[in-house]
Structure formats: structure tokens, C-alpha cells
Amino acid sequence: MSKKTPLTTIGDVTDPGFGVYVHWPFCAAKCPYCDFNSHVRHQPVDQPRFVEGFLREMAAVRALSGPRTVTSIFLGGGTPSLMEPATVEAILNGIAGHWHMPDDIEITMEANPSSVEATRFYGYRAAGVNRVSLGVQALNNRDLKFLGRLHNVEDALKAVRLARDIFPRMSFDLIYARPDQTVEDWERELKEAVSYAVDHLSLYQLTIEEGTPFYGLHKAGKLIVPDGEQSAVLYEATQEITAAIGMPAYEVSNHAQPGAESRHNLTYWRYGDYAGIGPGAHGRLSVGAEKVATATERNPEAWLRLVEERGDGIAERELLDPEAQADELLLMGLRLREGVDLSRWQMLSGRDPDPDRERFLIEHGFIERLGNSRLRCTPAGMLILDSVVADLAC
Ligand code: SF4
């Protein structure tokens, strides 16, 4: 059973905000574990042409969303730090031209240590980026090589130092549960990592995704990842170390000092609205009582052609009925330590959680109630999140 920690509220839980996500789909090399929409091009990418595409698609999405106040922008990828600062500036100006951008907006950009140069970082900051998320991934060169990363530990630490100096907010990612990683190895690495952290860390377990080179190796028995028991031990060590330095998990894999949580990601997990711009981007936009789910064409050049021909690259547009919205709300909300708003779920699904299933999950220590209106996973439940969600959603 978990110890009950108090419910923290980050911003206004009842107003999940409105985010704009922009996807830059290019990387310098493809990492062998990656199933993101990322592509390697050996010719220079025509950035001004992509900017035009982003601006045209923004206009189409603005027509769907109506006027909104943007609470966060996230430039993700791929490797957005391959963009020129002028490209980033044009994208941010485009967003400001279509929606209201308040002064205290959070603007995050993902960056890879291998593509970091001080001049570009200063340029991104001048363009308006006020938070950077660095893909550090490991703090030893053997594992960085295994993960197919183009940077070494020295590059990573240089990028961390630069980011700390230039941006008001900074986070970095690490991947753990690597082959042969012992809990002692991970504890040592994580303790070193937290000494460089500012107020936020994303700590992901290595997952083997279908269609990746790691998937083939894993299937052939040539890549062995920690089993469920070892993963649980690594996960618990992660929780203990981050909690001890005042950066507890506020989501399955995300840790922050209270108040330093990623506002953009909270919008996803609190099931707010967000616009998805660029190749392979997803969006959720409320239109009256309905929510429209959008997904754009994934191939960058095909997306660009579509945008140039008809004004947007949206390949799928689905109207989510209240039941589908209730499922998504549960799926996203149970990732959070603050849990999910049950009254919102009841309103959408038109029912209460099945009492027998809920009792079973509570008795086995996987979920807990927070007052009458919130439900959340315990740390044990977080380890089997997909099963918990499937059980409750039925
Ligand atoms: S840098 Fe990131 S997005 Fe690009 S291939 Fe590697 S993991 Fe995927």
C-alpha cells in the first residue's frame, strides 16, 4: 500500500489550458529505439518553405478552434534544435497572430546536446523560448553509444550548463532500465543527474517499440531488457531519489519541484484542448460539447504538399463522443499524481466506476480515492497503469 501524499494542485485543475504543439520532424540520425515521427534527410531542409506550411496550417486549425488564449507552446520532434532561430521566431509570431498569447506563456523547445550551439540557444531565447528540454538520455558514453545518440557526456553537460545560463526553465530526459543496468548503476547515475537538474526531470524506462531496430534485436534474443521485477526495483529507486531532493513524480515519468511542472504536458494529462501543427501532430479541440481529434500526415514532404495544395495536412479528423472522451480522460488523468476528476468522468461517461472493480483495485493497493471527487493510481498502480485503466474503463 502506498503512503497517502497530499493532493497538489498545479495551476487550476479545472482549467487545463490550451496548448499549441508544433512538430519538427527531422533528426540528424535515427536512434534505434525511436518510434517517433522523425526522419533523416541528407539534403538541407527548406526551412522557409516549412515555415510557410506551418503558418498555413495554423490558419486552418484556428478556424476550427476559434479564438483562444494559448497557455503553452511546445516545439517537439524530431529535433527542433535543428531549426534556425529565425524559423522558431516565425513559428512563434504565427501563433501570436492566430491566438492570444499572454505574457506569462510557457514556451518549451526540445533540444539535443549534439545540435546545441550557444549562438542558436541565444537566438531561441530571443525568439521567445523560455523553457528547454534536453535529450541527455544517459550519463555514460557506453550507454549513449548503445542508444545511438550522437553526443557524449561532455556534450551533454555542456548543453545543460548553457541551457541553465540562458533559459529561465530547463529540464532534461534520461532513459533507464537499459540492458544490464543494475539498480546500483542507476542510483549512481541518477544522483549525479539530479546534481545538474534545475527543477524538472523526465525519467523514462527504455521500451521496445515495434518497428524499431531494437525490436528486431529484442525478438531475436540479442537485446535483453530488465524484466518486470527489475523494472519495478529501478522505478522505486527513481521515486526515492527524486522525492528526496524535492522533485517528486507528478506524472509516471515526470518529476518536478512543486510549481515547476510542464504546463504544456499538464494540459494533455488534464485532458485540455491543444492544437497540433506540423507533420504527424495530433490535436484535440472542443467544438461545442464534442471534441475533434485531429492527426496530420506523417511524412514531412507529403504533409507539405497537402498544406500547399489545400491549406492543411490533416489526414484524420474524428468526432469523439462523450464515451470516447471519458476513456481518454481516464487514460491521461491516471498518469498524474493528482489523479483524475471523477465528476468530469461521470459527466462524460454517464455512469459511476464499477463498484466491484474499484473495490478490487483499492484493496490490492493499485488506486485510491482523494476525497469524493478524485481518483488516482498509487505507485504500485502506476507500474501497471494500462491494466488499471482498462479495468476501470470497462
Ligand atoms: S533524436 Fe529523438 S526523435 Fe530523433 S531519432 Fe532520436 S529519439 Fe527519435
Ligand 1, pocket-test mutation among 23, 26, 31, 109, most atoms within 8 A of CB: 31
CA 98 to chain centre: 24
**Per-residue pLDDT at 371:** 85
* Rounded Cα gap, residues 328 and 344, in angstroms: 12
**Per-residue pLDDT at 9:** 44
Q: pLDDT-based confidence at 333, cuts 50/70/90?
A: very high
Please, are residues 317 and 292 in contact by the beta-carbon 8 Å criterion?
yes
* pLDDT over threshold 60, residue 4: no
Residue nearest to atom 3 of ligand 1 (CA): 78
Ligand 1 centroid – CA 27 distance (Å): 6
Ligand 1 centroid – CA 38 distance (Å): 6
Ligand 1 centroid – CA 184 distance (Å): 27
* pLDDT over threshold 70, residue 178: yes
**Residues 198-249 pLDDT 10s:** 999 999 999 999 999 999 999 999 999 999 899 999 999 999 999 999 999 9
**Per-residue pLDDT at 210:** 95
Which residues line the pocket of ligand 1, CB cutoff 6 A?
Answer: 27, 30-31, 34, 36, 38, 77-79, 112, 135
Ligand 1 centroid – CA 145 distance (Å): 14
Ligand 1 centroid – CA 83 distance (Å): 15
Residue nearest to atom 6 of ligand 1 (CA): 31
**Per-residue pLDDT at 11:** 55
**Per-residue pLDDT at 13:** 61
Closest-CA residue to 338 (of 16, 1, 18): 16
Residue nearest to atom 5 of ligand 1 (CA): 30
Q: Quickly list DSSP for 252-286.
A: TTEEE-TT-S-HHHHHHHTT-EEEEESTT-EEEEE
* Rounded Cα gap, residues 234 and 87, in angstroms: 40
**42 CB burial (10 A radius; 0-12, 13-18, 19+):** exposed
**Per-residue pLDDT at 2:** 37
Contacts of 43 (CB under 8 A, 6+ apart): none
Ligand 1 centroid – CA 30 distance (Å): 6
Ligand 1 centroid – CA 40 distance (Å): 10
Ligand 1, pocket-test mutation among 24, 26, 33, 34, most atoms within 8 A of CB: 34
Which numbered atom of ligand 1 lies nearest the CA of 78? 3
Which residues is 317 bridged to in the sheet?
Answer: 294
Which numbered atom of ligand 1 lies nearest the CA of 33? 7
* pLDDT over threshold 90, residue 77: yes
Residue nearest to atom 8 of ligand 1 (CA): 34
**Residues 20-71 pLDDT 10s:** 999 999 999 999 999 999 999 999 999 999 999 999 999 999 999 999 999 9
* Rounded Cα gap, residues 107 and 75, in angstroms: 8
**Residues 80-109 pLDDT 10s:** 999 999 999 999 999 999 999 999 999 999
237 membership: H or E segment, kind and range: helix 228-244
Ligand 1 centroid – CA 36 distance (Å): 7
* pLDDT over threshold 70, residue 5: no
Share of the chain above pLDDT 70, in %: 96
Q: pLDDT-based confidence at 352, cuts 50/70/90?
A: confident
